[in-house]
Structure 1
Amino acid sequence: MADNDSVAGDGSLRRQINERVIIVQLLVLIFLCINLSLIVTFFSKVFFYTTMRYILFAVTLFSDSLILLMSDILVILSYFHITMQFGLCVIIYILLVLCTFVTPVTLTAMTLERYVAICMPLRHGELCSTHSSLHCVLIIQSLSCVPITVILSNFFASAPHSLYTEYSMCSMDLFVFLQWQDNVKLAVYQCYFLIMSVIIIFSYIEILKVAKAASGEDKKSTRKGLRTVVLHGFQLLLCLIQLWCPFIETSVLQINFKLFINVRYFNYIFFILAPRCLSPLIYGLRDEKFFLALKHNVPFEFHFVKSNVQISFI
């Protein structure tokens, strides 16, 4: 009788996993289509790819789309129990961690761009030119490389050489052998987000000061800048929660495996998939020029009025 219950329980868990994998595929397809439409809109006008805030917005779109695609590939490989050479898994891990940090670092750069536009308007053209934007993108990529460099340096120092030629399931858990490596990774993550949070809070306070002293159109512009900074802060919080997820899942795994499966699925949907699409979409809808270009480029009509969008998202 106990064996029958065990088989029934395994079958129920298997059906649940099957349904979840299908749901993930549908969500990834939808989110990738949305991000693709935003990327196409970005390239539709010269103004967008010669303006810093739109260039930075496009950087987040590319990094988020890559994370959606690669994480989904790992889900499919795990579901079908497909193994790969460990060296290839290292490459995937590097790209995933790099893109994971590109988005929050870019959000911080976008916040600084708004700070310069509102608090230093006379220098905005100089500091936020197209040439400066390209330098900014290079700096973002360089800063995003630091965490993965630290993590892999610790990993290579303790991993056996035979591991690199082995075939196994590609999982992010493979890159932590010892507890101190987990602690170092967590310290790097927290250091980055502490610095980014301080920058966003500083920008918000400075823009708030300008908003209090402004009047008329200037006051409207600064208020919109404040809302933009708040949105970046919320997006940064989601990114921070995403980086906490592996540590939470590791703790839950020690308690109950079924609970671990449920928590990992919940984290993947709400803190990895959804923010990678919804936040960029909302940010695109908030910008009047980008919204009009998006409305022109998508293959279907928007069923809401611009004024309603402003009420809902700004």
Structure 2
Amino acid sequence: MNLTKRDDFQEALVKNLIIVILGIVINCINGIIVLTFCKNSVFHSDSRYILYMNLVVNDMILIYVSVTLYVLTYIYPNLNALMCCILVMTGSTTRKNTTIILASMAIERYIAICKPLRHAQICTVRRTYIIIALTWGVGFVPALVDVIIVLATQPIGFFSKGVFCFPPILYNTRYHAENVKVVQALYMSFVWLTLIYTYFMIFRTARSAKRDTASAKKAQNTILLHGAQLLLSMLSYITPLFNVVLISFFPIHRSKITFLNYLITNIIPRLLSPLIYSVRDQKFAKHMSQYYSCKVILFKGGLKRRRLKCSSKRVCSLKG
């Protein structure tokens, strides 16, 4: 977020254009992925793709909220506190959801590779949707706690005031700081232990298996990509430290440093989600390409038929 007001008009415009354009591009790609999922029923009974769609939709909401908050810091810095709480709660929930969804997807791959005979029994569609509901509930609780702390420490009139909509400014009590430390420690330790455990179990299965090692190796690579995505997401937790260190060495470039940190920790990690499945997954990529190529062919074919009809009518009218 922009915490300084030193940007001139041109610099502010360029930064906002970059963020908005990247946000639109990422959400358009994710929108195509969701549309492909909805149009092909073959994915609706597969827990793997259902969990992936949950991640994609979660990323779309996170991108929308994050870009909105960034732009608001420039064009409307004093936002209504109640509206700010709603946006920050949504962003906080979706950010925490990302880590939990990555863990649940890693567990699903572990069951598919290490316990293939029980995969259909354990990873049913109903249980998958229950996991998704629990994920959103667990992600929402810390955000709700932050708001409850505000209600307990601030007068009710606080929500009608204008505030600079940035979490450390909105949630500035020691209780919020303690809540953040506890939540981050619990979430990150759980997710990292899950990723490490599932990766090594799949690795062991791949080494001992006599067949279908390709699927196991692909699952290993997928979990590694999840780990890379989680690492990039975790950078947002140490961004303030990066800002302090870098700004101390390059104080003139304070605004550029905060912008680049925001770009790397909030926007770029969202680009990995489409790459993990829509590009690497042959089944999903095949349906995407077939669906959109058919649309293009049908559209062009329809235009050609219309032109032929029009030309034939003109010929007939001339003959008549």
Q: Output the TM-score relative to the length of structure 2.
A: 0.82
Shift of 1:34: 1.0
Does residue 46 in structure 1 map to residue 62 in structure 2?
A: no
Rounded to whole Å, the distance in 2 between the matches of 1:128 and 1:237 is: 27
Q: Tell me the equivalent position of 1:210.
A: 205
Shift of 1:258: 5.1
Counterpart pick for 2:124 among 121, 124, 129:
129
Counterpart pick for 2:23 among 20, 28, 50:
28
- Residues 228-277 of structure 1: CA distance to partner in whole angstroms, max 9, x if unpaired? 11111111111211233256447777898754422221122222112112
Shift of 1:124: 0.3
Q: Tell me the equivalent position of 1:168.
A: 163
Q: Tell me the equivalent position of 1:287.
A: 281
Report how many residues are paired.
291
Structure 2 counterparts to residues 1-314 of structure 1, below 5 A: 13-81=8-76, 83-179=78-174, 181-216=176-211, 218-246=212-240, 248-249=242-243, 259-298=253-292
Q: Go from structure 1 to structure 2 and tell me whether the alpha carbon gap of 1:178 and 1:73 turns closer, same or farther (over 3 Å shift).
A: same
Q: What is the identity, as a one-letter code, of the residue corresponding to 1:229?
A: I
> Where does the alignment leave 5 or more consecutive residues of structure 2 unmatched?
296-320
Q: What is the identity, as a one-letter code, of the residue corresponding to 1:164?
A: F
Q: Go from structure 1 to structure 2 and tell me whether the alpha carbon gap of 1:254 and 1:299 turns closer, same or farther (over 3 Å shift).
A: farther
Shift of 1:180: 5.1
Rounded to whole Å, the distance in 2 between the matches of 1:164 and 1:257 is: 34
Moved over 6 A (4+): 250-257
Shift of 1:144: 1.0
Residue 210 of structure 2 aligns to a residue in which SS?
coil
Q: Go from structure 1 to structure 2 and tell me whether the alpha carbon gap of 1:239 and 1:41 turns closer, same or farther (over 3 Å shift).
A: same
Q: Tell me the equivalent position of 1:5.
A: none
Residue 274 of structure 1 aligns to a residue in which SS?
helix
Shift of 1:19: 1.4
Rounded to whole Å, the distance in 1 between the matches of 2:228 and 2:102 is: 10
Rounded to whole Å, the distance in 2 between the matches of 1:246 and 1:153 is: 25
Would the aligned equivalents of 1:155 and 1:177 in 2 still touch at CA under 8 Å?
no
Shift of 1:59: 0.7
Rounded to whole Å, the distance in 2 between the matches of 1:213 and 1:178 is: 53
Q: Go from structure 1 to structure 2 and tell me whether the alpha carbon gap of 1:87 and 1:180 turns closer, same or farther (over 3 Å shift).
A: closer
Structure exhibiting the larger radius of gyration computed from Cα positions: 2
Shift of 1:125: 0.2
Q: CA RMSD in A?
A: 2.6
Rounded to whole Å, the distance in 1 between the matches of 2:218 and 2:272 is: 19
> Where does the alignment leave 5 or more consecutive residues of structure 1 unmatched?
1-9, 302-314
- Residues 30-57 of structure 1: CA distance to partner in whole angstroms, max 9, x if unpaired? 1111111111111121121221110111
Residue 185 of structure 1 aligns to a residue in which SS?
helix
- Percent identity of paired positions between Structure 1 and Structure 2: 25
